[in-house]
């Protein structure tokens, strides 16, 4: 997949908890299945699947207050990185928060923050 190729980004549901947990476990993060269920239920969690239907990337847009939302759980499987997947998922999160009348905030690495800063411009 080329970096500029449009992805099939989908909204995640309760059946995607295990896939999200597998990604966060692989990254060495400390989320639990209950955390993932909460991300999916409380906001708009998005994902991308590979040809076999396995969840290979995620991002979540969660409400914080009436005017702010935060983006979290931006994860891409190591074999699928550097193809623009995370950027497109962050864009979907920013759009979701904007549609809800919220400004997007991201607590992340400097590289990830630059993506959100560009999307909010």
pLDDT digits (tens, 9 = 90+) for 41-100: 999 999 999 999 999 999 999 999 999 999 999 999 999 999 999 999 999 999 999 999
pLDDT at position 117 is 65
pLDDT at position 2 is 46
pLDDT higher at 120 or 80: 80
Neighbouring residues of 77: CB distance < 8 A, sequence distance ≥ 6: 23, 26, 56, 57
Q: Topology of 10-120 in CATH? A: Aminopeptidase (3.40.630)
Per domain, the residue ranges of the chain are 10-120
């Amino acid at each position: 997949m080329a970096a500029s190729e449009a992805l099939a980004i989908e909204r995640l549901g309760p059946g995607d908890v295990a896939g999200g947990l597998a990604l966060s476990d692989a990254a060495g993060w400390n989320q639990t299945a209950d955390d993932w269920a909460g991300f999916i239920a409380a906001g708009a969690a998005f994902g991308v699947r590979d040809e076999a239907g396995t969840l290979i990337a995620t991002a979540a847009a969660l409400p914080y207050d009436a005017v702010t939302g935060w983006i979290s759980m931006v994860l891409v499987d190591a074999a699928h990185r550097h193809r623009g997947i995370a950027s497109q998922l962050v864009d979907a999160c920013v759009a979701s928060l904007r549609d809800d009348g919220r400004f997007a905030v991201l607590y992340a690495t400097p590289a990830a923050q630059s993506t959100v800063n560009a999307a909010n411009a």
